[in-house]
Amino acid sequence: MNTVLDTVVIGGGAMGSAAAWELARRGRQVTLVEQFGPGHKFGASHGATRNFNPGYHQPDYVAMLAEGLALWDELEQESGEQLLARTGIVNHGPGGDLQEVAAALTGAGISAEFLDPAEAGERWRGIRFDQQVLHMPDGGQLNPDAALPAFQRLATARGAEIRHHTKVVDFLVFDDGVRLVLESAAGTEVVTAAQAVATAGGWTQKLLARVPGGVRIPKLRVTQEQPAHFRVADADAVWPGFNHYPGPDYQGWYSPVYGMQTPGEGIKAGWHGVGPVVDPDRRDFLPEQKQLAALQDYARQWLPGVDPDSFEAISCTYTTTPDEDFVLDRIGPVVIGAGFSGHGFKFTPVVGRILADLATGTRPAPAIFRASR
């Protein structure tokens, strides 16, 4: 069967869903195809919490933070759902460029204040604070399990078609469009479209490798990340989101630690971007034991509000570029959104806006996201 479409979004994770919403809002005829079902746990956008951590000082990201806060508000208005719980974010430790972050945020009108560690420890007694403490009250937790259906529902309300259990198995690019082969329970279908938006997460390199001659983007490293939800031991403790940046002489750390409270599930804590490299189609979903033991040691030492021996491991993928900046670019009829390197969720609606701008030729993406960098 041959079908002619306008814009096909490949991948119904956070970024594809946001792109579909933004393109549908601009009156484009959008078809989103997703290989798995709604709410699947095989990629990077499942679960009830992600930090909206404003801890950036690079100007493009700082501008995207401010725009992101406004667009999450807009999505909450349109969907009637609370998606961002403003618990505040606290970044602490000798690392993390906290002085530069504070200056950049203040310059952009986003609140940031340094607190004395003892004072912070009184406010948030579930956490033991380290040296310098930067509090950012505009930050909080986003809920992917509510946000993705909201994006898709609103896109559908504006005429988009969302097809789950539909996989792109072949991908040809021409000057004036693309041809995709889709596989679903209904069989194989050949689709021609004016444009494709490739937001395939950990599968991006595989997808783009199907294009004869390939599509050149920075090398993507897919890792299986394994934070854990620790059982709350102090029921009265109040929890912000947090990031802890070690000093050069800190022993037994794999990376900075991020964390937050997931209501009903516990306190999430995790290492950042150090999981084993995986093929997204051949994962074991099992935690690496040494990293897990080190994470428990971290909780024992720095999270007095949790039980370090009672936890639930989580499995999820990062797709990381060499410089940890995203890939947001257009190559002919193909728009690419990839390489979110474990820090993309907070920017989801802004990424949707940038991908729609690229698809409609409205404006280019910031240079740091160029595929040819």
Residues that bind ligand FAD (CB under 6 A): 10-16, 33-36, 43-45, 50-51, 167-168, 199-203, 207, 225, 227, 258, 270, 316-318, 340, 342-346
Position closest to ligand FAD via CB: 13
Q: What's the closest the beta carbon of residue 344 comes to ligand FAD, in angstroms? A: 3
**CB nearer to ligand FAD: pick between 31 and 79:** 31
Q: What's the closest the beta carbon of residue 8 comes to ligand FAD, in angstroms? A: 10
Q: What's the closest the beta carbon of residue 209 comes to ligand FAD, in angstroms? A: 11
**CB nearer to ligand FAD: pick between 28 and 343:** 343
Q: What's the closest the beta carbon of residue 180 comes to ligand FAD, in angstroms? A: 9
Q: What's the closest the beta carbon of residue 31 comes to ligand FAD, in angstroms? A: 11
**CB nearer to ligand FAD: pick between 21 and 318:** 318
Q: What's the closest the beta carbon of residue 363 comes to ligand FAD, in angstroms? A: 21
**CB nearer to ligand FAD: pick between 71 and 200:** 200
**CB nearer to ligand FAD: pick between 70 and 116:** 70
Judge whether 115 and 135 are in contact, CB under 8 Å.
Answer: yes
**CB nearer to ligand FAD: pick between 79 and 319:** 319
